Structure formats: C-alpha cells, structure tokens
Amino acid sequence: MARRYFGTDGIRGTANAEPMTAEIALKVGMAAGRQFLRGDHRHRVVIGKDTRLSGYLLEPALTAGFIAVGMDVVLVGPMPTPAVAMLTRSLRADLGVVISASHNPFQDNGIKLFGPDGFKLSDEVEHAIEARMDNGHSEGRAKPPDLGRAMRLEDAPGRYIEYVKHTFPENRTLDGMKIVLDCANGAAYRVAPTVLTELGAQVVAIGVEPDGFNINHGCGSTATGRMQEEVVRQGAHLGIALDGDADRLVMADEQGHMLDGDQVMALIAESWHGRGLLRGGGVVATVMSNLGFERYLEGIGLTLDRTQVGDRYVIERMVATGCNLGGEQSGHIIMTDFSTTGDALVATLQALAVLVEKKRPVSEVGRMFAPYPQLLRNVRYGGGKPLEDANVKQVMEAARVRLGQDGRLLVRNSGTEPLIRVMAEGIDESLVIAVVDEIARAVERASARL
C-alpha cells in the first residue's frame, strides 16, 4: 500500500509546506492519539523536539491534536530522539513523539512516533494512522470534561543524563581523556557535554549554540570538518560528532581521520564477542554497510545480517533474531540491552569503554577493518520515477555485471528527500567511480525527460 505521509523515518518535509504544516500536525496528533487510546486509564503522550525554529509551529499543533482526543501531553523541549523513547517507557506513556528532521537542514522538519514500548511504529500501525488522518477530525473527539492536559517535565534532561551514564561500566572512567564533541547545534547540545564531563572527560564542545537556524549547518555528523580540525588543533584523544536529534554518531581518531558507524559497530562487536556479551551470533545492519565490515565479522566467526535502509528495520530484525547489536553505516547504532532505538550517547560510551580498556591510541584500535572502496552519490530529481526508465535499468544491470561477485550495487529512492541514492563498492576503486557516474548520468537524463 502506498504511503501518503510516512516515509522510512516518520513524516518529513519542508517546514510550513505539506506535509509539514500545522494542519497536518494537528491531524497526526488526533489520529495517533485515537490509535493509542486503549483501556480506561488516563492516556499520556511525551513530545520532544530538536532546536529548529519550526518546532514552535509543530509542537502546539500536535499538542492540540492529542488534547482534543483526550490524551495528556508531557512536553520535554529539546531532547534527543532516544531520550523521548526512554521517557515514553519510563513514564508509562502510551505514545512518544519527536519533532525533528534528524540530519536535514533547519528548513526541514519531521514527526517521529514511538509506541508505549519505546520502539518506532510498524508499517501496519503507520498505515492505520494515515487512514485515520484521511477520515476527518470528527471521530473520537473528547467531550469537554475529558479533554487532555499539557504539562512540562522540567527534570527530563537530568533523567536522561543519569540513564545514559548508568550504561557506562562502573569500574571505568574517562579521566584524562580529551574529547572534541560536536553536538550539531541540535537536541543534545546540553545533555551530551554534561554526560561526558560528569564521567571525567575534558570536553571541547562545539555546535552547542543553537539559534533555530544553524542545526546541522557546517557541523554535526554530516559536516565533520570543523570537528576533525579541532581534534588535531586541541591535541585531543578523539572527536565525536552527533546529528541533529542525537540518534547517530561518527568518530575521528587523534589524527582527525574519520571512523563511520561500521567501524564503531565492529569495535563494539569484537569486544562484546570476546566477553560473551554479544547475542544472536552477529550484527544486524543495512544494505549500505561496507563489504569490508561483513568480511571482518566473518573472520571472527560472526555474521552480518542485512536489512533494508532504515534503523527501525534494523531493530525489527534484531528483535526477531535475538541480536543485541545493530545499526547503520551512517552512525545509527542500536544496542537493545540499553535502548529501543539508535542512541548516539549510549553508543559513544560503549565505544569509549572499549578504548579505555585497550589503552592505545584510537588510530591503532579504532580502524577494525580495511573498507572496500565505496561511493555514494545522491542524485536530486524533480518528479516521475527515474528508476523505472528502461535505459536506467539497462545501465544498472551492466554495472552489476562489471562489479562482479566482489562488488555490490544499490540504487534506491530516499525515503526522506527527493533523491536517488546510488551506491557501489568493489575492489577496484576506479570501476566503482565509473559505474556510479554512469548511473547518476542515466538517472539525470531520465529525470529530465519525465
């Protein structure tokens, strides 16, 4: 069934344009509220957001929708996505909502929903909510005495900080470690530096001055240049960059060289496997993870179970197979021992625990495998379905043949933006570049014709 509102990670788009309008947010609040009105208890929803200006537009609209169907609203303000998932469970709420467009620029925003168990909603539940949104507002309106109420949870940051700190081994400390931390001017700009500082680290914090417009702008996990430079300039042991809603991270070693989500997962997997803590016989990741990661895991007796792109699909597979470690190359890292969704701070602490134990420079222990040459190119298109074009299909098939058994090709529509994502990897870097170029040009030509 085609989706009208929901993509791979909730609803997302340009703020104050469909589907990111106050009207749609009101519909989401009413429809999602009705979907989760079960039993005769007092129903509750937790709403958090990042630092985008448009959060002031969407938060009250969502709040009104939930109140209109009789659901109480707990507002926690700017908080990481995983914090909202945690608070949803901790407060025994019926629903959690995050207003964020993650790593996108400030002009975009989004709505992510979590069920009472703290997990992102299934496709089936999202379809049900969409159906309710299209049925109008009259169904399920509360009578005046039954309207919901709204309150602010003032100690939400402190609750999350303590929760995250308790995931770090009690017998270890970050004393003597200097860390450059880039918070992307996003949701974790207060809590993330506090966590690392209270565990003993000397923190050089950047991207901690949000103004509503600068989230992810020249900073964060998708723009790591400043963080890398600061690591070298400050003589830091490592750098960490979060995205706008702090559910993903990437790292840099003391030389400023980047380590992506695959490398961080490999670091944690190897440690947990050796200590008997890794469950499920391997790691769950998406089709985007590097072949070098897969070969590395095979070399230590583990498997890489791949899913379609989207951290919620990773989580669903983890739950189904009993794995407790999974994630995405982009830096979403999920550890079900601690959280129900990607949590950049929890993942950071697990990686730091391994580094503290090894007592060696990050450049020596952080690069767990040699990645296969891999290239990802985003091709923006104006409309139509370029991937159904006959010439594009022909070029893609020829590319697969050329890459052979030691290469991979993945071409897909973005679930959050009007982009075609073209990814190839293989032993021969020049071949990888060539096939990506050819496919990108074919997509552009097809888009121009449509």
Count: domains in the chain: 4
Mean pLDDT in residue range 26-42: 94
Query: pTM, whole model, 2 decimals?
Result: 0.90
* pLDDT value for 7: 84
The alpha helices in 55-136, defined as continuous H runs, are 55-68, 81-90, 123-134
Coil, strand, or helix at residue 218?
Answer: coil
As a whole number of angstroms, the longest Cα–Cα distance in the chain is 69
pLDDT 10s digits, 326-339: 999 999 999 999 99
Query: Does the structure show a pLDDT above 70 at 375?
Result: yes
Residues 16 and 152 in one domain: yes
Domain boundary (207, 242, 257) is at: 257
Hey, which residues are catalytic here?
Answer: 102
Round the average pLDDT of the chain to a whole number and report it: 94
pLDDT 10s digits, 98-141: 999 999 999 999 999 999 999 999 999 999 999 999 886 556 89
* pLDDT value for 280: 97
Q: Degrees (nearest 5) of the Cα angle 104, 413, 55?
A: 25
Q: Whole domain around residue 100: which residue ranges?
A: 11-156
Q: Residue-wise over 314-329: b if at least 16 C-beta within 10 A, else e?
A: bbbbbeebebbbbbbb
Residues 22 and 143 in one domain: yes
34 domain-assigned: yes
Residues 404 and 285 in one domain: no
Query: Does the structure show a pLDDT above 60 at 85?
Result: yes
Domain boundary (365, 393, 425) is at: 365
394 domain-assigned: yes
pLDDT 10s digits, 272-314: 999 999 999 999 999 999 999 999 999 999 999 999 988 889 9
Residues 6+ apart with CB under 8 A from 197: 203
For residue 234, the Cα-to-chain-centroid distance in whole angstroms is 28
Residues 206 and 134 in one domain: no
* pLDDT value for 39: 87
Residues 360 and 388 in one domain: no
pLDDT 10s digits, 233-250: 999 999 999 999 999 999
Coil, strand, or helix at residue 165?
Answer: helix
Residues 93 and 139 in one domain: yes
Residues 315 and 389 in one domain: no
Q: CATH no. for residue 27?
A: 3.40.120.10
For residue 437, the Cα-to-chain-centroid distance in whole angstroms is 28
pLDDT 10s digits, 385-441: 899 999 999 999 999 999 998 899 999 888 667 889 999 999 999 999 999 999 999
Residues 76 and 136 in one domain: yes
* pLDDT value for 309: 86
Mean pLDDT in residue range 204-217: 98
149 domain-assigned: yes
- Distance between CA 148 and CA 150 in Å, rounded? 7
